[in-house]
């Protein structure tokens, strides 16, 4: 051990008198502090490995292979078209990531004298691994990683970090103030897959929020969804309110995704889809019962975001509700706020946006636009769904409740729409 940091371990009884404890004793009252383990650094390195292991599993269809029941490495190998040894190693990594579980296969039958049956090691033994394991989907994988699952994030895994090639240049982006290419410079290249990827889980979130805003509406309520993507928000409200009509606004380069989603949804024939920028398309003045800004403010410059909130507020009829869903930057960074903190960095790394706003900014803009703040929900880790209502009108307001329960408890794993 080298010299302790000066003054780092002084106590009231043993004040520091120099770089070494003095006088020396067999059991010194103060010892140099032990360094922490490097586990946190390994965790970061593992993050990269975990991400690509998950992408590989999705590319191979490994979760689908386990959807109808557990398999050993040989069975898994056959199902995903990879040699058994390699399939087993990937499956082991997914067990370490808590996406799969592994249980020993039934022990081989004992010989007549109670000795284990002797079977020569061969390819099948290698495939099963030491002891032989059967792999099964964990609950998280069963709920979120099956491609056609109701709340699937399988497509989102690839898109959520933004264009992958932006990350290695992050230091340069931070120096320069913008990435070498911004997502919004070519919206048709990135947003369609992001919109498709995020739609299933956002549809589940939006359905839960729509259930909370059950206030009676007029005879033909209007729901406006700005930056709709695959319209999870508009379609969830239309499903919840059978008499409602919707208006979805999406960029011309991406609007085909909105149209596809509407065409595939039973409520989609009540959704009008408009191609254009939410900053410019004509919006109904004081005519909407709900206006949704779903994950769109964060890529806007501050002034643009504030103006968009004001536009949305002006489109609300008295008593109508603005719904803003986003991952606001936390006031205090902490491990508990990892999702929203890294979301802010993603925006900085991949767009010309400023890395997300604080929830306090969103509230201030809503108030400045003449709205009264309503309940706020946190359906997903780090996600904030803020509501604010235009004063006036006779319809009952959304009722403040303790908050939407986390998605995992709102939708038990057994529930399925497939």
Residues that bind ligand SAM (CB under 6 A): 187, 191, 194-195, 198, 202, 227-229, 232-233, 249-251, 254, 277-279, 294-296, 325
Q: Residue 318 — φ and ψ, nearest 5°? A: -55, 130
Shortest CB 271 distance to ligand SAM, Å: 13
Comparing CB distances to ligand SAM, the nearer of 93 and 210 is 210
Shortest CB 293 distance to ligand SAM, Å: 8
CB 319 within 8 A of CB 393: yes
Comparing CB distances to ligand SAM, the nearer of 21 and 229 is 229
Report the alpha-carbon distance of residue 310 to residue 367 in Å, rounded: 9
Q: Does an H or E element contain 126, and which? A: helix 123-128
Q: Residue 110 — φ and ψ, nearest 5°? A: -75, 150
DSSP 405: P
Q: Report DSSP letters for 52-64, one per residue.
A: HHHHHHHHHTHHH
Comparing CB distances to ligand SAM, the nearer of 4 and 187 is 187
CA distances, 350 to each of 196, 199, 254 (Å): 18, 20, 18
Comparing CB distances to ligand SAM, the nearer of 232 and 375 is 232
Shortest CB 380 distance to ligand SAM, Å: 11
Q: Report DSSP letters for 288-337, one per residue.
A: EEEEEEES-GGGS-HHHHHHHHHHHHHHEEEEEEEEEEE-PBPSS--GGG
Comparing CB distances to ligand SAM, the nearer of 65 and 293 is 293
CA distances, 338 to each of 77, 140, 196, 217, 388 (Å): 35, 19, 24, 38, 26
Comparing CB distances to ligand SAM, the nearer of 229 and 382 is 229
Shortest CB 164 distance to ligand SAM, Å: 17
Report the alpha-carbon distance of residue 197 to residue 54 in Å, rounded: 15
Shortest CB 276 distance to ligand SAM, Å: 7
Shortest CB 227 distance to ligand SAM, Å: 3
């Amino acid at each position: 051990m080298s010299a302790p940091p000066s003054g780092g371990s002084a106590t009231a009884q043993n004040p520091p008198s120099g770089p070494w404890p003095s006088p020396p004793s067999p059991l010194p009252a103060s010892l140099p502090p032990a360094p922490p383990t490097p586990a946190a650094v390994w965790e970061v390195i593992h993050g990269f490995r975990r991400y690509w292991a998950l992408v590989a599993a999705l590319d191979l269809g490994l979760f689908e292979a386990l959807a109808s029941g557990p398999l050993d490495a040989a069975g898994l190998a056959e199902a995903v078209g990879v040699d058994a040894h390699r399939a087993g190693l990937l499956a082991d990594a997914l067990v370490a990531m808590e996406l799969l579980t592994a249980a020993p296969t039934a022990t081989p039958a004992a010989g007549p004298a109670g000795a284990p049956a002797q079977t020569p090691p061969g390819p099948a033994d290698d495939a099963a691994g030491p002891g032989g394991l059967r792999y099964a989907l964990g609950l998280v994988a069963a709920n979120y990683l099956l491609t056609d699952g109701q709340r699937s994030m399988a497509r989102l895994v690839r898109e959520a970090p933004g264009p992958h090639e932006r990350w290695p240049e992050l230091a340069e982006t931070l120096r320069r103030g913008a990435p070498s290419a911004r997502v919004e410079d070519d919206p048709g290249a990135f947003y369609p897959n992001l919109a498709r990827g995020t739609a299933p889980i956002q549809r589940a979130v939006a359905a839960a929020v729509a259930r909370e805003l059950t206030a009676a509406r007029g005879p033909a309520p209007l729901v406006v969804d700005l930056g709709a993507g695959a319209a999870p928000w508009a379609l969830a409200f239309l499903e919840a309110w059978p008499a409602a009509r919707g208006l979805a606004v999406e960029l011309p380069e991406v609007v085909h995704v909105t149209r596809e989603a509407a065409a595939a949804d039973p409520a989609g024939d009540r959704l009008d889809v408009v191609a254009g920028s939410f900053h410019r398309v004509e919006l109904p003045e004081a005519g909407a019962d709900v206006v949704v800004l779903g994950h769109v403010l964060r890529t806007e410059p501050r002034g643009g975001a504030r103006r968009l909130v004001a536009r949305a507020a002006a489109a609300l009829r008295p008593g109508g509700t603005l719904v803003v869903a986003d991952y606001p930057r936390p006031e205090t960074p902490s491990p508990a706020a990892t999702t929203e903190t890294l979301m802010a960095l993603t925006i900085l790394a991949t767009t010309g946006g400023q890395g997300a706003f604080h929830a306090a900014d969103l509230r201030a803009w809503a108030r400045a636009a003449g709205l009264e703040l309503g309940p706020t929900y946190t359906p997903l880790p780090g996600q904030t769904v803020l509501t604010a209502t235009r004063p006036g009108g006779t319809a009952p307001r959304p009722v403040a409740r303790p908050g939407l329960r986390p998605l995992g408890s709102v939708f038990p794993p057994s529930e399925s729409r497939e």
